[in-house]
Chains A and B, each alone.
Chain A
Amino acid sequence: QKEVEQNSGPLSVPEGAIASLNCTYSDRGSQSFFWYRQYSGKSPELIMFIYSNGDKEDGRFTAQLNKASQYVSLLIRDSQPSDSATYLCAVRPGGSYIPTFGRGTSLIVHP
């Protein structure tokens, strides 16, 4: 059973701070890694994907991948109340095109 683990939270950060969301996975052969944002009552929205070790930046978001340690992180700089949502990590195992989803981390950004 390939697993993707996330702390359910909630993670509470003040406005303007850096929010750090973490995800670990069990399949060492995993190839692709995704972060989705899901607002309450809405569908998951893809915000970042990363395939190679290292960092990938897109605006205020940075995805960090460490395959040796089997974790992927999402950093949100200058957090805003509008970033308050549940963040889902998804990992595509080797040999499959179907990702495994974590249960998500709830992020609360308070003014």
Chain B
Amino acid sequence: DAGITQSPRHKVTETGTPVTLRCHQTENHRYMYWYRQDPGHGLRLIHYSYGVKDTDKGEVSDGYSVSRSKTEDFLLTLESATSSQTSVYFCAISGTESSYEQYFGPGTRLTVT
């Protein structure tokens, strides 16, 4: 593993509650990403970060927000969880502008009831 951890690894929550997922890296990589993966849809980019306090939206950002206050941590918040946000969430990192390979964390399985 490329020094990426995600927490929690599993979570069950109720509709309408806020949820925060954490991604932590020890690689000092500049870029960090949040994806969700659902059957039939593949990996879809939610938000990404290109530096501390620098973030931008991906293709499925509605209902999600992110923050990055330190190089090593990237937080994903579901402001008010809905059943459609039940999914597996992956964090990924990549290094420099000459090294484009992404490395993935172990994932968080989130169930919204």
B residues whose Cβ falls under 8 Å from a Cβ of A: 31, 33, 40-43, 45, 48, 50, 58, 90, 94, 97, 100-107
Can you sample 8 A-B contacts with CB below 8 Å? A34-B101, A36-B104, A43-B104, A43-B106, A46-B102, A90-B102, A97-B100, A103-B41
| Pairwise interchain contact A101-B107, C-beta atoms closer than 8 A | no
Contacts of A18-66 to chain B: CB distance below 8 A: 31-32, 34, 36, 42-46, 49
- Cα of A31 to Cα of B107 in the assembled complex, Å: 28
**How many chain-A residues does the 8 Å CB contact rule pick out?**
20
A44-B104, A102-B42 are known; give 7 further A-B pairs, CB within 8 A: A32-B100, A43-B107, A97-B50, A98-B33, A98-B45, A99-B102, A103-B42
A residues with CB within 8 A of B: 31-32, 34, 36, 42-46, 49, 88, 90, 92, 97-99, 101-104
Cβ–Cβ < 8 Å partners of A90 in chain B: 102
Contact A88/B103 with A97-B31, A97-B94, A98-B33 known, Cβ cut-off 8 Å? no
Contact of A43 among B48, B58, B90, B100 (CB under 8 A): B90
| Residues B103 and A104 in contact, CB atoms below 8 Å apart | no
**B42:A104 contact, CB within 8 angstroms:** yes
Residues of A within 8 A of B45 (CB): 98
